[in-house]
Chain A
Amino acid sequence: MKALDHSATALYDIPGPKTERRHKLYGLVSTLIVLGLVAWLLYLLFDTDQFTATKWTPFEYKGIQELLLRGLGNTLKAFAVSAVLSLALGTVLAVGRLSDHKPVRWLATLCVEFFRAMPVLVMIFFIYVALKVEPLPALVAGLTLYNGSVLAEVFRSGINSVERGQREAAYALGMRKTQVMAYVLVPQAVRAMLPAIISQLVVALKDTSLGYLITYEEFLHAGKLIASNLDYDLPFIPVVMVISPIYIGMCMLLSWFAQWVARRQRRNPKTEAADVAPAEPGTLLPGTQ
Protein backbone atom coordinates (compact mmCIF):
# COMPACT_ATOMS: atom_id res chain seq x y z
CA MET A 1 0.00 0.00 0.00
CA LYS A 2 1.22 3.43 -0.87
CA ALA A 3 2.10 5.92 1.82
CA LEU A 4 -0.86 8.10 2.73
CA ASP A 5 -1.15 11.11 4.93
CA HIS A 6 -2.86 10.56 8.24
CA SER A 7 -6.16 12.17 7.33
CA ALA A 8 -6.64 9.72 4.50
CA THR A 9 -5.94 6.62 6.54
CA ALA A 10 -8.37 7.77 9.22
CA LEU A 11 -11.17 7.49 6.70
CA TYR A 12 -10.90 3.75 6.10
CA ASP A 13 -9.29 0.68 7.61
CA ILE A 14 -6.24 -0.89 6.10
CA PRO A 15 -7.92 -3.23 3.61
CA GLY A 16 -7.95 -6.95 4.22
CA PRO A 17 -7.52 -9.50 1.43
CA LYS A 18 -11.17 -9.44 0.38
CA THR A 19 -11.42 -5.65 0.30
CA GLU A 20 -8.08 -5.52 -1.44
CA ARG A 21 -9.51 -7.64 -4.24
CA ARG A 22 -12.59 -5.42 -4.41
CA HIS A 23 -10.43 -2.30 -4.61
CA LYS A 24 -8.36 -3.88 -7.37
CA LEU A 25 -11.59 -4.52 -9.28
CA TYR A 26 -12.70 -0.89 -8.83
CA GLY A 27 -9.28 0.26 -9.93
CA LEU A 28 -9.42 -1.92 -13.01
CA VAL A 29 -12.92 -0.80 -13.97
CA SER A 30 -12.16 2.90 -13.50
CA THR A 31 -8.91 2.58 -15.45
CA LEU A 32 -10.83 0.90 -18.26
CA ILE A 33 -13.38 3.73 -18.27
CA VAL A 34 -10.63 6.37 -18.46
CA LEU A 35 -8.86 4.41 -21.19
CA GLY A 36 -12.16 4.15 -23.03
CA LEU A 37 -12.58 7.92 -22.87
CA VAL A 38 -9.05 8.44 -24.14
CA ALA A 39 -9.68 5.98 -26.96
CA TRP A 40 -12.88 7.81 -27.89
CA LEU A 41 -11.00 11.12 -27.93
CA LEU A 42 -8.29 9.62 -30.12
CA TYR A 43 -10.96 8.25 -32.41
CA LEU A 44 -12.56 11.71 -32.66
CA LEU A 45 -9.16 13.24 -33.40
CA PHE A 46 -8.43 10.70 -36.14
CA ASP A 47 -11.95 10.93 -37.45
CA THR A 48 -11.61 14.69 -37.93
CA ASP A 49 -8.18 14.29 -39.56
CA GLN A 50 -6.16 15.96 -36.83
CA PHE A 51 -3.19 13.67 -37.43
CA THR A 52 -2.85 14.17 -41.17
CA ALA A 53 0.62 15.12 -42.29
CA THR A 54 -0.38 18.59 -43.52
CA LYS A 55 -1.42 19.66 -40.06
CA TRP A 56 1.85 18.62 -38.47
CA THR A 57 4.33 19.71 -41.15
CA PRO A 58 4.41 23.35 -40.02
CA PHE A 59 6.33 22.35 -36.91
CA GLU A 60 9.16 21.14 -39.13
CA TYR A 61 9.75 24.57 -40.62
CA LYS A 62 12.47 26.70 -39.15
CA GLY A 63 10.44 29.91 -39.48
CA ILE A 64 7.59 28.45 -37.45
CA GLN A 65 9.89 27.06 -34.80
CA GLU A 66 11.47 30.50 -34.54
CA LEU A 67 8.04 32.10 -34.29
CA LEU A 68 7.16 29.80 -31.39
CA LEU A 69 10.50 30.40 -29.70
CA ARG A 70 10.10 34.16 -30.06
CA GLY A 71 6.65 33.85 -28.52
CA LEU A 72 8.03 31.80 -25.65
CA GLY A 73 10.77 34.38 -25.20
CA ASN A 74 8.22 37.18 -25.07
CA THR A 75 6.18 35.25 -22.50
CA LEU A 76 9.25 34.79 -20.32
CA LYS A 77 10.22 38.42 -20.79
CA ALA A 78 6.81 39.64 -19.63
CA PHE A 79 6.99 37.21 -16.71
CA ALA A 80 10.46 38.29 -15.63
CA VAL A 81 9.71 42.01 -15.79
CA SER A 82 6.39 41.71 -13.98
CA ALA A 83 7.88 39.40 -11.35
CA VAL A 84 10.61 41.89 -10.50
CA LEU A 85 8.24 44.86 -10.53
CA SER A 86 5.59 42.99 -8.47
CA LEU A 87 8.16 42.18 -5.81
CA ALA A 88 9.20 45.84 -5.72
CA LEU A 89 5.61 47.11 -5.58
CA GLY A 90 4.74 44.48 -2.99
CA THR A 91 7.59 45.68 -0.79
CA VAL A 92 6.56 49.32 -1.10
CA LEU A 93 2.90 48.56 -0.33
CA ALA A 94 3.79 46.30 2.59
CA VAL A 95 6.01 49.00 4.06
CA GLY A 96 3.11 51.40 3.60
CA ARG A 97 0.67 49.09 5.32
CA LEU A 98 3.03 48.62 8.26
CA SER A 99 3.74 52.33 8.53
CA ASP A 100 3.17 54.24 11.77
CA HIS A 101 1.60 57.14 9.88
CA LYS A 102 -2.11 56.83 9.45
CA PRO A 103 -2.50 58.48 6.00
CA VAL A 104 0.26 56.30 4.52
CA ARG A 105 -1.28 53.17 5.98
CA TRP A 106 -4.68 54.18 4.75
CA LEU A 107 -3.47 54.89 1.21
CA ALA A 108 -1.58 51.60 0.99
CA THR A 109 -4.60 49.67 2.26
CA LEU A 110 -6.84 51.36 -0.31
CA CYS A 111 -4.42 50.45 -3.13
CA VAL A 112 -4.07 46.85 -2.01
CA GLU A 113 -7.80 46.30 -1.59
CA PHE A 114 -8.74 47.96 -4.88
CA PHE A 115 -6.20 46.18 -7.06
CA ARG A 116 -7.02 42.82 -5.52
CA ALA A 117 -10.73 43.35 -6.09
CA MET A 118 -10.49 44.11 -9.82
CA PRO A 119 -10.22 41.37 -12.41
CA VAL A 120 -6.64 41.53 -13.77
CA LEU A 121 -7.98 41.47 -17.29
CA VAL A 122 -10.13 44.56 -16.72
CA MET A 123 -7.05 46.45 -15.47
CA ILE A 124 -4.99 45.28 -18.44
CA PHE A 125 -7.72 46.25 -20.88
CA PHE A 126 -8.15 49.60 -19.19
CA ILE A 127 -4.45 50.37 -19.49
CA TYR A 128 -4.33 49.08 -23.06
CA VAL A 129 -7.55 50.54 -24.44
CA ALA A 130 -8.27 53.64 -22.40
CA LEU A 131 -4.74 54.83 -21.64
CA LYS A 132 -3.53 53.63 -25.08
CA VAL A 133 -0.37 51.96 -23.81
CA GLU A 134 1.61 49.42 -25.88
CA PRO A 135 0.69 45.74 -25.24
CA LEU A 136 3.83 44.73 -23.31
CA PRO A 137 3.83 47.64 -20.82
CA ALA A 138 0.06 47.30 -20.43
CA LEU A 139 0.34 43.60 -19.63
CA VAL A 140 3.26 44.14 -17.26
CA ALA A 141 1.51 47.03 -15.52
CA GLY A 142 -1.69 45.04 -14.99
CA LEU A 143 0.16 42.00 -13.67
CA THR A 144 2.36 44.16 -11.45
CA LEU A 145 -0.56 46.00 -9.87
CA TYR A 146 -2.42 42.80 -9.12
CA ASN A 147 0.43 40.54 -8.03
CA GLY A 148 2.16 43.39 -6.20
CA SER A 149 -0.95 43.90 -4.07
CA VAL A 150 -1.24 40.21 -3.30
CA LEU A 151 2.46 40.00 -2.48
CA ALA A 152 2.13 43.01 -0.18
CA GLU A 153 -0.30 40.98 1.91
CA VAL A 154 2.04 37.99 1.88
CA PHE A 155 4.91 40.20 3.08
CA ARG A 156 2.78 41.75 5.77
CA SER A 157 1.57 38.41 7.09
CA GLY A 158 5.16 37.17 6.99
CA ILE A 159 6.42 40.05 9.08
CA ASN A 160 3.51 39.77 11.49
CA SER A 161 4.17 36.05 11.87
CA VAL A 162 7.59 36.64 13.42
CA GLU A 163 7.24 36.14 17.14
CA ARG A 164 6.38 39.28 19.06
CA GLY A 165 9.22 38.81 21.51
CA GLN A 166 11.71 39.30 18.71
CA ARG A 167 10.54 42.78 17.93
CA GLU A 168 10.09 43.67 21.58
CA ALA A 169 13.61 42.55 22.34
CA ALA A 170 14.96 44.57 19.42
CA TYR A 171 13.13 47.69 20.57
CA ALA A 172 14.36 47.08 24.12
CA LEU A 173 17.91 47.08 22.79
CA GLY A 174 17.22 50.59 21.53
CA MET A 175 16.89 49.89 17.82
CA ARG A 176 14.86 52.22 15.65
CA LYS A 177 11.90 50.87 13.68
CA THR A 178 13.91 50.72 10.45
CA GLN A 179 16.59 48.74 12.21
CA VAL A 180 14.10 46.38 13.80
CA MET A 181 12.62 45.73 10.37
CA ALA A 182 15.88 45.42 8.47
CA TYR A 183 17.93 43.44 10.96
CA VAL A 184 15.36 41.41 12.86
CA LEU A 185 12.00 40.98 11.21
CA VAL A 186 12.60 40.94 7.45
CA PRO A 187 15.43 38.36 7.42
CA GLN A 188 13.28 35.93 9.39
CA ALA A 189 10.12 36.72 7.49
CA VAL A 190 11.68 36.25 4.04
CA ARG A 191 12.63 32.67 4.81
CA ALA A 192 9.14 31.83 5.96
CA MET A 193 7.49 33.67 3.06
CA LEU A 194 9.54 32.17 0.25
CA PRO A 195 7.13 29.34 -0.70
CA ALA A 196 4.16 31.72 -0.70
CA ILE A 197 6.07 34.20 -2.87
CA ILE A 198 7.02 31.55 -5.42
CA SER A 199 3.41 30.29 -5.56
CA GLN A 200 2.30 33.82 -6.35
CA LEU A 201 4.89 33.97 -9.13
CA VAL A 202 3.25 30.89 -10.65
CA VAL A 203 0.06 32.96 -10.83
CA ALA A 204 1.99 35.75 -12.58
CA LEU A 205 3.45 33.26 -15.05
CA LYS A 206 0.03 31.82 -15.82
CA ASP A 207 -1.44 35.28 -16.27
CA THR A 208 1.13 36.36 -18.84
CA SER A 209 -1.06 34.45 -21.27
CA LEU A 210 -3.63 37.23 -20.86
CA GLY A 211 -1.28 39.16 -23.14
CA TYR A 212 -2.76 37.11 -25.98
CA LEU A 213 -6.03 38.98 -25.53
CA ILE A 214 -4.41 42.37 -26.05
CA THR A 215 -2.41 41.20 -29.08
CA TYR A 216 0.90 40.97 -27.23
CA GLU A 217 3.01 38.61 -29.32
CA GLU A 218 3.53 35.93 -26.71
CA PHE A 219 3.47 32.14 -26.88
CA LEU A 220 -0.28 31.67 -27.25
CA HIS A 221 -0.36 34.43 -29.88
CA ALA A 222 2.32 32.61 -31.90
CA GLY A 223 0.22 29.46 -31.60
CA LYS A 224 -2.86 31.27 -32.86
CA LEU A 225 -0.93 32.58 -35.88
CA ILE A 226 0.08 29.05 -36.86
CA ALA A 227 -3.36 27.64 -36.06
CA SER A 228 -5.17 30.01 -38.38
CA ASN A 229 -2.92 29.24 -41.35
CA LEU A 230 -4.95 27.89 -44.25
CA ASP A 231 -1.87 26.47 -45.99
CA TYR A 232 -1.55 23.87 -43.28
CA ASP A 233 -5.28 23.13 -43.17
CA LEU A 234 -5.91 25.08 -39.94
CA PRO A 235 -3.77 22.98 -37.56
CA PHE A 236 -5.60 24.15 -34.45
CA ILE A 237 -5.60 20.96 -32.43
CA PRO A 238 -1.94 20.13 -33.19
CA VAL A 239 -1.01 23.63 -32.01
CA VAL A 240 -2.91 23.15 -28.75
CA MET A 241 -1.23 19.76 -28.34
CA VAL A 242 2.19 21.35 -28.75
CA ILE A 243 1.85 24.53 -26.70
CA SER A 244 -0.23 23.24 -23.75
CA PRO A 245 2.40 20.81 -22.43
CA ILE A 246 5.03 23.54 -22.62
CA TYR A 247 2.86 26.07 -20.74
CA ILE A 248 1.71 23.54 -18.14
CA GLY A 249 5.25 22.20 -17.78
CA MET A 250 6.69 25.64 -17.05
CA CYS A 251 4.06 26.35 -14.39
CA MET A 252 4.45 22.89 -12.87
CA LEU A 253 8.22 23.32 -12.57
CA LEU A 254 7.73 26.57 -10.70
CA SER A 255 5.00 25.00 -8.49
CA TRP A 256 7.24 22.08 -7.65
CA PHE A 257 10.03 24.46 -6.82
CA ALA A 258 7.69 26.24 -4.39
CA GLN A 259 6.69 22.93 -2.81
CA TRP A 260 10.32 21.88 -2.55
CA VAL A 261 11.23 25.13 -0.81
CA ALA A 262 8.24 24.71 1.51
CA ARG A 263 9.30 21.17 2.43
CA ARG A 264 12.82 22.33 3.17
CA GLN A 265 11.43 25.14 5.30
CA ARG A 266 9.39 22.73 7.37
CA ARG A 267 12.53 20.85 8.28
CA ASN A 268 14.32 24.07 9.15
CA PRO A 269 14.14 24.84 12.87
CA LYS A 270 14.82 28.51 12.18
CA THR A 271 11.54 29.02 10.37
CA GLU A 272 9.44 26.33 11.95
CA ALA A 273 7.61 28.72 14.22
CA ALA A 274 6.60 31.26 11.58
CA ASP A 275 3.58 30.18 9.62
CA VAL A 276 2.67 32.34 6.63
CA ALA A 277 -0.69 32.36 4.94
CA PRO A 278 -0.20 30.74 1.56
CA ALA A 279 -0.68 32.78 -1.58
CA GLU A 280 -4.20 32.57 -2.86
CA PRO A 281 -4.75 29.84 -5.41
CA GLY A 282 -5.26 31.11 -8.92
CA THR A 283 -5.96 34.70 -9.69
CA LEU A 284 -8.22 35.69 -6.92
CA LEU A 285 -9.24 38.19 -4.40
CA PRO A 286 -9.60 37.07 -0.85
CA GLY A 287 -12.85 38.87 -0.16
CA THR A 288 -12.98 40.27 3.30
CA GLN A 289 -10.55 38.14 5.20
Chain B
Amino acid sequence: MNVLTDNFSTYWKGFLGTVELTVYASVLALVLGFVMASFRVAPVGSFRAFGTAWVTVLRNTPLTLLFFAVLLGLPRFGLVLPFQLFAVLALGCYTSAFICEALRSGINTVPRGQGEAARSLGMTFGQTLTTVILPQAFRSVIPPVGSTLIALAKNSAIAGAFSVVELLGTYKTLSELGYNIIWTFVWIALGYLIITLAISALFNVLEKRWGVAR
Protein backbone atom coordinates (compact mmCIF):
# COMPACT_ATOMS: atom_id res chain seq x y z
CA MET B 1 0.00 0.00 0.00
CA ASN B 2 2.77 2.44 0.95
CA VAL B 3 4.50 1.98 -2.41
CA LEU B 4 2.87 5.19 -3.55
CA THR B 5 3.70 7.34 -0.55
CA ASP B 6 7.28 6.08 -0.35
CA ASN B 7 8.01 6.53 -4.02
CA PHE B 8 5.80 9.38 -4.95
CA SER B 9 8.54 11.09 -6.96
CA THR B 10 9.12 7.99 -9.12
CA TYR B 11 5.42 7.69 -9.82
CA TRP B 12 5.10 11.40 -10.41
CA LYS B 13 7.93 11.34 -12.94
CA GLY B 14 6.34 8.38 -14.73
CA PHE B 15 2.93 10.01 -14.65
CA LEU B 16 4.28 13.27 -16.06
CA GLY B 17 6.17 11.27 -18.70
CA THR B 18 2.95 9.63 -19.83
CA VAL B 19 1.10 12.96 -19.84
CA GLU B 20 3.85 14.67 -21.84
CA LEU B 21 4.05 11.83 -24.33
CA THR B 22 0.27 11.88 -24.72
CA VAL B 23 0.05 15.63 -25.20
CA TYR B 24 2.88 15.94 -27.73
CA ALA B 25 1.81 12.86 -29.67
CA SER B 26 -1.82 14.08 -29.68
CA VAL B 27 -0.80 17.40 -31.19
CA LEU B 28 1.27 15.66 -33.84
CA ALA B 29 -1.53 13.17 -34.54
CA LEU B 30 -4.16 15.91 -34.88
CA VAL B 31 -2.02 18.01 -37.22
CA LEU B 32 -0.96 15.05 -39.37
CA GLY B 33 -4.48 13.61 -39.31
CA PHE B 34 -5.86 16.94 -40.54
CA VAL B 35 -3.30 17.10 -43.34
CA MET B 36 -3.92 13.50 -44.39
CA ALA B 37 -7.71 13.94 -44.34
CA SER B 38 -7.32 16.98 -46.62
CA PHE B 39 -5.06 14.94 -48.90
CA ARG B 40 -7.61 12.14 -49.07
CA VAL B 41 -10.39 14.41 -50.33
CA ALA B 42 -8.18 16.59 -52.54
CA PRO B 43 -8.82 16.92 -56.28
CA VAL B 44 -5.23 15.96 -57.13
CA GLY B 45 -4.87 12.21 -57.64
CA SER B 46 -1.34 11.84 -56.29
CA PHE B 47 -2.34 13.60 -53.03
CA ARG B 48 -5.22 11.16 -52.60
CA ALA B 49 -2.94 8.22 -53.32
CA PHE B 50 -0.40 9.41 -50.75
CA GLY B 51 -3.08 9.91 -48.09
CA THR B 52 -4.57 6.49 -48.75
CA ALA B 53 -1.19 4.79 -48.61
CA TRP B 54 -0.32 6.56 -45.34
CA VAL B 55 -3.54 5.50 -43.67
CA THR B 56 -3.57 1.94 -44.98
CA VAL B 57 0.01 1.20 -44.00
CA LEU B 58 -0.11 2.80 -40.56
CA ARG B 59 -3.48 1.33 -39.63
CA ASN B 60 -2.20 -2.15 -40.37
CA THR B 61 1.15 -1.81 -38.63
CA PRO B 62 1.40 -3.25 -35.14
CA LEU B 63 2.43 -0.38 -32.88
CA THR B 64 5.12 -2.52 -31.27
CA LEU B 65 6.70 -3.04 -34.68
CA LEU B 66 6.57 0.70 -35.35
CA PHE B 67 8.27 1.45 -32.02
CA PHE B 68 10.80 -1.29 -32.74
CA ALA B 69 11.60 0.18 -36.15
CA VAL B 70 11.68 3.82 -35.03
CA LEU B 71 13.26 3.64 -31.57
CA LEU B 72 15.78 0.91 -32.29
CA GLY B 73 16.05 1.13 -36.08
CA LEU B 74 16.45 4.80 -36.99
CA PRO B 75 19.55 5.35 -34.82
CA ARG B 76 21.23 2.53 -36.75
CA PHE B 77 21.22 4.54 -39.91
CA GLY B 78 22.41 7.78 -38.58
CA LEU B 79 19.28 9.47 -37.24
CA VAL B 80 19.96 10.10 -33.57
CA LEU B 81 17.29 11.93 -31.61
CA PRO B 82 16.23 11.71 -27.95
CA PHE B 83 14.22 8.55 -27.21
CA GLN B 84 11.26 10.61 -26.09
CA LEU B 85 11.09 12.37 -29.44
CA PHE B 86 11.21 9.08 -31.32
CA ALA B 87 8.34 7.80 -29.18
CA VAL B 88 6.30 10.94 -29.91
CA LEU B 89 6.97 10.50 -33.64
CA ALA B 90 5.94 6.84 -33.68
CA LEU B 91 2.85 7.33 -31.53
CA GLY B 92 1.79 10.50 -33.36
CA CYS B 93 2.16 9.06 -36.87
CA TYR B 94 0.36 5.86 -35.88
CA THR B 95 -2.58 7.72 -34.34
CA SER B 96 -2.77 10.24 -37.20
CA ALA B 97 -4.09 7.47 -39.46
CA PHE B 98 -7.04 6.92 -37.12
CA ILE B 99 -7.66 10.67 -36.69
CA CYS B 100 -7.65 11.04 -40.47
CA GLU B 101 -10.31 8.37 -40.86
CA ALA B 102 -12.43 9.91 -38.10
CA LEU B 103 -12.21 13.33 -39.79
CA ARG B 104 -13.05 11.86 -43.17
CA SER B 105 -16.17 10.26 -41.76
CA GLY B 106 -16.98 13.68 -40.26
CA ILE B 107 -16.63 15.30 -43.68
CA ASN B 108 -19.21 12.80 -44.91
CA THR B 109 -21.71 13.98 -42.30
CA VAL B 110 -21.70 17.55 -43.63
CA PRO B 111 -24.64 17.88 -46.05
CA ARG B 112 -23.60 17.99 -49.70
CA GLY B 113 -25.48 21.19 -50.28
CA GLN B 114 -23.03 23.06 -48.07
CA GLY B 115 -20.11 22.22 -50.32
CA GLU B 116 -22.17 22.99 -53.40
CA ALA B 117 -23.24 26.34 -51.96
CA ALA B 118 -19.64 27.21 -51.13
CA ARG B 119 -18.58 26.32 -54.66
CA SER B 120 -21.35 28.36 -56.21
CA LEU B 121 -20.07 31.35 -54.23
CA GLY B 122 -16.84 30.84 -56.12
CA MET B 123 -14.78 29.39 -53.28
CA THR B 124 -11.76 27.30 -54.14
CA PHE B 125 -11.26 23.76 -52.83
CA GLY B 126 -9.04 25.03 -50.01
CA GLN B 127 -11.57 27.66 -48.98
CA THR B 128 -14.50 25.26 -49.13
CA LEU B 129 -12.64 22.75 -47.02
CA THR B 130 -11.21 25.06 -44.38
CA THR B 131 -14.00 27.59 -43.95
CA VAL B 132 -17.15 25.57 -44.59
CA ILE B 133 -16.69 21.81 -44.39
CA LEU B 134 -14.00 21.14 -41.79
CA PRO B 135 -15.30 23.44 -39.03
CA GLN B 136 -18.58 21.53 -39.17
CA ALA B 137 -16.87 18.18 -39.57
CA PHE B 138 -14.80 18.87 -36.45
CA ARG B 139 -17.94 19.29 -34.41
CA SER B 140 -19.36 15.95 -35.39
CA VAL B 141 -16.14 14.01 -34.86
CA ILE B 142 -15.51 15.11 -31.28
CA PRO B 143 -16.52 11.72 -29.78
CA PRO B 144 -14.47 9.49 -32.12
CA VAL B 145 -11.45 11.77 -31.89
CA GLY B 146 -11.80 11.62 -28.11
CA SER B 147 -11.73 7.85 -28.08
CA THR B 148 -8.79 7.83 -30.48
CA LEU B 149 -6.84 10.10 -28.12
CA ILE B 150 -7.76 7.89 -25.17
CA ALA B 151 -6.36 4.98 -27.16
CA LEU B 152 -3.22 7.02 -27.73
CA ALA B 153 -2.81 7.56 -24.00
CA LYS B 154 -3.18 3.83 -23.40
CA ASN B 155 -0.83 2.99 -26.25
CA SER B 156 1.85 5.20 -24.73
CA ALA B 157 2.43 2.32 -22.28
CA ILE B 158 4.31 0.57 -25.09
CA ALA B 159 6.84 3.41 -25.10
CA GLY B 160 7.54 2.61 -21.44
CA ALA B 161 8.39 -0.96 -22.33
CA PHE B 162 10.95 0.48 -24.76
CA SER B 163 12.53 2.33 -21.81
CA VAL B 164 11.09 5.78 -22.42
CA VAL B 165 10.35 7.40 -19.04
CA GLU B 166 6.66 6.69 -18.60
CA LEU B 167 4.16 5.37 -16.07
CA LEU B 168 4.28 1.64 -16.85
CA GLY B 169 8.07 1.78 -16.83
CA THR B 170 8.06 2.65 -13.12
CA TYR B 171 7.23 -0.94 -12.20
CA LYS B 172 10.80 -1.99 -13.02
CA THR B 173 12.38 0.52 -10.66
CA LEU B 174 9.99 -0.27 -7.86
CA SER B 175 10.18 -4.05 -8.14
CA GLU B 176 13.97 -3.78 -7.98
CA LEU B 177 13.51 -1.91 -4.72
CA GLY B 178 11.55 -4.91 -3.46
CA TYR B 179 8.09 -3.42 -3.23
CA ASN B 180 4.97 -5.51 -3.51
CA ILE B 181 4.43 -5.83 -7.23
CA ILE B 182 0.66 -6.12 -7.04
CA TRP B 183 0.26 -2.79 -5.29
CA THR B 184 2.69 -1.22 -7.74
CA PHE B 185 0.41 -2.27 -10.56
CA VAL B 186 -2.69 -1.05 -8.75
CA TRP B 187 -1.19 2.43 -8.60
CA ILE B 188 -0.01 2.29 -12.20
CA ALA B 189 -3.51 1.25 -13.27
CA LEU B 190 -4.95 4.13 -11.29
CA GLY B 191 -2.59 6.56 -13.01
CA TYR B 192 -3.78 5.45 -16.43
CA LEU B 193 -7.37 5.61 -15.28
CA ILE B 194 -6.88 9.23 -14.19
CA ILE B 195 -5.40 10.16 -17.56
CA THR B 196 -8.04 8.42 -19.67
CA LEU B 197 -10.90 9.72 -17.53
CA ALA B 198 -9.49 13.24 -17.79
CA ILE B 199 -9.40 13.00 -21.58
CA SER B 200 -12.92 11.64 -21.76
CA ALA B 201 -14.17 14.37 -19.40
CA LEU B 202 -12.47 17.00 -21.55
CA PHE B 203 -14.14 15.64 -24.67
CA ASN B 204 -17.51 15.50 -22.95
CA VAL B 205 -17.18 19.21 -22.20
CA LEU B 206 -16.10 19.91 -25.77
CA GLU B 207 -19.04 17.94 -27.09
CA LYS B 208 -21.50 19.81 -24.90
CA ARG B 209 -20.13 23.10 -26.12
CA TRP B 210 -19.53 22.39 -29.79
CA GLY B 211 -21.13 19.06 -30.59
CA VAL B 212 -23.84 18.89 -33.22
CA ALA B 213 -27.25 18.43 -31.65
CA ARG B 214 -29.10 15.69 -33.47
Contact = CB atoms under 8 A, between A and B. Distances in A.
Nearest to B43: A12
Contacts of A130: 181-182, 184-185
A37 B133 CA distance: 31
A15 interface: yes
B60 A252 contact: yes
A23 B199 CA distance: 40
Nearest to A23: B44
Contacts of A45: 77
Contacts of A8: 41
A48 B204 contact: no
A129 B175 contact: yes
A283 B154 contact: yes
A11 B65 contact: no
B157 A281 contact: no
Interface in A215-252: 220, 223-224, 227, 234, 236-237, 240, 243-244, 247-248, 251-252
B135 interface: no
Nearest to A239: B73
Interface residues of A, number: 66
B47 A30 contact: yes
Given A12-B119, A129-B175, A248-B60, A237 B77 contact: yes
B151 A283 contact: yes
Contact of A251 (B62, B107, B156, B184): B62
Given A121-B158, A244-B69, 17 more contacts: A7-B110, A7-B115, A11-B128, A11-B129, A12-B125, A27-B44, A44-B79, A122-B157, A125-B185, A209-B65, A252-B60, A281-B98, A281-B101, A281-B148, A285-B151, A286-B147, A288-B200
Interface of A: 2, 5-8, 10-13, 15, 19, 23, 26-27, 30-31, 34, 44-45, 47-48, 50, 117-122, 125-126, 129-130, 202, 205-210, 212-213, 220, 223-224, 227, 234, 236-237, 240, 243-244, 247-248, 251-252, 255, 280-289
8 nearest CB pairs, A to B = A284-B151, A287-B200, A10-B115, A251-B60, A209-B62, A119-B154, A209-B64, A119-B157
